[in-house]
Amino acid sequence: MNTGRFKFAANFIGIFVFVSFITRIVLLAMTYDQVNMGIGALLKVFFIGVFYDFVAVSYYLIPFILYLIIVPRKIFNTSIHKIISLLVYFAVIYTIVFNGFSEYFFWEEFGKRFNFIAVDYLVYTHEVIHNILESYPIPLLVLIILFLTGGIFYVNHKKSDLHEKAFKCNMPFLKRLKIGSIYLALPLLFFVFLDKQTLTENISNKFDQELAKNGFYSLFSAFRHNELDYNEFYKTLDKNKVFKRLHILLKRENTTFKTNNIYDINRVVTNDGTAQKYNIVLIMVESLSAEYLGAFGDKRGLTPHLDKLAKKSLFFNNLYATGTRTVRGMEAVTLSLPPTPGRSIVKRPDCQNMNSAGFIFQKLGYDNKFIYAGHGYFDNMNYFFSNNGFDVVDRFDFKDSEVTFSNVWGVCDEDLLNKVSKEADKSYTKQKPFFSFVMTTSNHRPYTYPNGKIDIPSHTGRRGGVKYTDYAINKFLKKAELKPWFNNTIFVIVADHNGGSAGKTALPIWRYKIPLFIYAPKIIKPAVVSKLASQVDIVPTLLGILGQSYEAKFYGDDILKADHQERAFVGNYQKLGLFRDNTLTVLSPDKTIQNYKVKKQTLYSVIYDKREPSETDINDTITYYQSASYLYKHNLLREFNKK
Domain boundaries, the chain: 4-224, 239-633
CB < 8 Å & 24+ apart, contacts of 296-299: 296/513, 296/515, 296/603, 297/603, 298/603
- 98-111 pLDDT per residue, tens: 988 888 888 887 77
The residues, ordered by sequence, that sit 6+ positions from 195 with a Cβ below 8 Å of its Cβ are none
pTM above 0.85, yes or no: no
**What is the dihedral angle through the alpha carbons of 583, 269, 251, 336, rounded to the nearest 10 degrees?**
-40
Q: What is the phi/psi pair of residue 596, to 5°?
A: -130, 125
CB 643 within 8 A of CB 354: no
Count CA atoms within 13 Å of residue 171 on its CB side.
24
pLDDT at 643: 44
Calculate helix-pair angle for 116-123, 125-135, nearest 10 degrees.
100
- 312-324 pLDDT per residue, tens: 999 999 999 999 8
CB 75 within 8 A of CB 26: no
Q: Is the dihedral of CA 374, 380, 383, 388 positive or negative?
A: negative
pLDDT at 2: 43
Can you name the CATH fold of 239-633?
Alkaline Phosphatase, subunit A (3.40.720)
pLDDT at 399: 97
pLDDT at 363: 96
The residues, ordered by sequence, that sit 6+ positions from 571 with a Cβ below 8 Å of its Cβ are 322, 323, 328, 338, 339, 341, 507, 577
CB 486 within 8 A of CB 480: yes
pLDDT along the chain (643 residues), means of 10: 63 88 91 85 90 89 82 72 79 89 82 71 61 77 91 75 58 82 88 75 82 84 69 92 98 96 97 95 97 96 98 98 94 97 87 96 98 94 97 97 95 98 98 98 94 95 96 98 98 88 70 97 97 98 98 98 97 90 92 94 91 96 98 90 48
